[in-house]
Amino acid sequence: MIWNEEYETMPREALEAIQLKRLQAVVERVYTNVAHYRKKMDEAGVKPEDIKRLDDLKRLPFTTKEDLRENYPFGLFAVPLERVVRVHASSGTTGKPTVVGYTKRDIDTWAELMARTLACAGVHRGDIVHNAYGYGLFTGGLGFHYGAERLGATVIPISGGNTKRQIMIMKDFGSTVLTCTPSYALNIADVMKEEGISPEDLKIRVGVFGAEPWSENMREEIERKLGIDAIDIYGLSEIMGPGVSVECIEQKRGLHIFEDHFIPEIIDPDTGEVLPPGEKGELVFTTLTKEAFPVIRYRTRDITRLITEPCTCGRTFYRMEKIMGRTDDMLIIRGVNVFPSQIEHVLMSIEGVEPHYQIIIDKQGALDVMEVQVEVSDEIFSDEIKVLESLAKRIEQELKETLAVSCRVKLVEPRSIQRSEGKAKRVIDKRKM
Ligand code: DLL
């Protein structure tokens, strides 16, 4: 079902006219109300009235995570604090969190976009949504919560943790939709197996998973283990939270971006140059309708490409491909760029290997060394040492072929790698410690 036919299927020309009007208004607002934007625009020699066409967007300076940090906590708010009814924050890897705010209307827009998102994923009125995203400063829990309510579904605000109890509740309440991170979905599947509960014992039909990168293979694994459709949802606190883009249940190929509220661009992360549609680069977003925390050309550091071909589902919004990695989770191992997603891809293509792994990087003298610890299935683990050794060798070989750098593979006991309840921590870089 399409939640908002008028906007979601609007011809491009009409959509772009709306985008331009909204862009002009938001640029005017940040220039007038936020000292940081005024200063940066003055330095770049652009005034709000210079934005005459959508293409003029590229004249505006970028906003980065550092800008947010420098204006911690409320310095980039574009409305007085008394109009801010909610604050969220995302924990960074270092230091202070990134803080974002919402007016009453922002919360309303967000609920609307999350209702669209869920509808796009095939969720509808009458569904029972088991929402295991964390509630709190993280945008996942409350974002899904408001969206599911707006859609008219029933929400179970379970939040993360206590997996056995989650499974009992899903079973007893007849939940039909599961929302959580993909790593937690797998965690749930494993605990179900341990508890002797099969997918047929549950009524879950679809899962809406995001907040961390996951591969196509991981999707297949989740779909098989839980007997559901797994849909990818993308978002980030700085732009709104979940509900920036989502796959449609019809195709599961590319995430539709809600372009009447957010303008995407793809840039070359090194030069900042805007790349033509279809090219791979860093995703940049400008919010068009947010009041409390509008952002102009925010550099997400996420890497993807835009798909401009129309989708069979009828939505006219451009899509973005599944996130391929980040410009900053890129690991440099002995000079070679390595993305954790490449490692996951290789691991998931090997039979008997479980989707639980950790990448540990350290230095031996001046040399970077990378170890991939990965769980194997019970059957394999109880096999002879020789079998385990040859499997490890085979994975090392395949990783080397894909990554162009060698690493050590350590097969570990089933269930020995710490399970996540939210975003999985896959990389331990001891070089930085
Ligand atoms: O993770 C918002 C969210 C909540 C999205 C629930 C989806 C579901 P942050 O904590 O600010 O916000 O983290 C944002 O997470 O820049 C990406 O690097 C990563 N990310 C989010 N969704 C995906 C996804 C939420 N589907 C950061 N695939 C983003 C890959 C994702 N990475």
Structure token digits, residue 13: 């020309």
Closest-lying ligand 1 atom to the alpha carbon of residue 329: 18
Mean pLDDT over 28-55 rounds to 98
Asked if 223 and 229 touch (Cβ cutoff 8 Å), the reply is: yes
Q: According to the model, what pLDDT value does residue 93 have? A: 47
Which residue stretches of 123-273 are H helix?
139-151, 163-173, 182-194, 216-226
**241 C-alpha to ligand 1 centroid (Å):** 8
Pocket test for ligand 1, best of 69, 302, 344 (most atoms within 8 A of CB): 302
Q: According to the model, what pLDDT value does residue 373 have? A: 97
Instruction: Give the whole-angstrom CA distance, residue 288 versus residue 352.
Output: 47
Instruction: Give the whole-angstrom CA distance, residue 148 versus residue 63.
Output: 31
Asked if 277 and 308 touch (Cβ cutoff 8 Å), the reply is: yes
Structure token digits, residue 393: 């060798």
Asked if 89 and 100 touch (Cβ cutoff 8 Å), the reply is: yes
List, in sequence order, every residue forming a beta bridge with 208; answer none if it has no partner: 179, 231
Those residues whose C-beta lies under 8 Å from the C-beta of residue 142, and which sit 6 or more positions away, are: 86, 88, 135, 241
- % residues pLDDT > 70 (the chain): 99
Q: In this structure, what DSSP letter does residue 293 have?
A: S
Asked if 366 and 373 touch (Cβ cutoff 8 Å), the reply is: no
Average the pLDDT over each of 87-96, 203-212, 316-325 and give the range with the smallest value. Answer: 87-96
Closest-lying ligand 1 atom to the alpha carbon of residue 232: 26
**183 C-alpha to ligand 1 centroid (Å):** 13
The amino acid that residue 14 corresponds to is A
The C-alpha angle with vertex 287 and arms to 67 and 136, in degrees rounded to 5, equals: 75
Instruction: Give the whole-angstrom CA distance, residue 71 versus residue 99.
Output: 9
* Confidence check: pLDDT of 92 > 60: no
**For residue range 169-182, what is the model confidence (pLDDT) as tens digits?**
999 999 999 999 99
Mean pLDDT over 53-81 rounds to 96
* Confidence check: pLDDT of 157 > 60: yes
**What is the side-by-side strand order in the sheet with 353-364?**
408-412, 367-376, 353-364, 427-429
Closest-lying ligand 1 atom to the alpha carbon of residue 133: 6
* Confidence check: pLDDT of 63 > 50: yes
Q: According to the model, what pLDDT value does residue 35 have? A: 98
Name the residue with the closest Cα to ligand 1, atom 10.
90
Ligand 1 binding pocket (C-beta < 6 A) is 90, 133, 139-140, 210-213, 232-237, 241-242, 300, 302, 323, 326
Question: Model confidence at 94, in pLDDT bands (50, 70, 90)?
Answer: low
Instruction: Give the whole-angstrom CA distance, residue 159 versus residue 139.
Output: 12
* Confidence check: pLDDT of 347 > 70: yes
Q: According to the model, what pLDDT value does residue 330 have? A: 80
Mean pLDDT over 272-290 rounds to 97
**309 C-alpha to ligand 1 centroid (Å):** 24
**Mean pLDDT in the chain?**
95
Name the residue with the closest Cα to ligand 1, atom 30.
213
Closest-lying ligand 1 atom to the alpha carbon of residue 237: 11
- Angstrom CA distances, 227 to 78, 125, 173, 216, 291, stand at 45, 21, 18, 16, 41
Range list of β-strands (E), 239-338: 241-247, 255-257, 262-267, 281-287, 298-304, 306-307, 319-320, 325-326, 331-333, 336-338
Name the residue with the closest Cα to ligand 1, atom 12.
236
**For residue range 189-212, what is the model confidence (pLDDT) as tens digits?**
999 999 999 999 999 999 999 998
Q: Which domains does the chain have, with CATH numbers?
A: 1-326 (3.40.50.12780), 331-432 (3.30.300.30)
**323 C-alpha to ligand 1 centroid (Å):** 10
Asked if 175 and 168 touch (Cβ cutoff 8 Å), the reply is: no
Name the residue with the closest Cα to ligand 1, atom 28.
213
Q: According to the model, what pLDDT value does residue 383 have? A: 84
Average the pLDDT over each of 46-55, 114-123, 295-304, 363-372 and give the range with the smallest value. Answer: 363-372
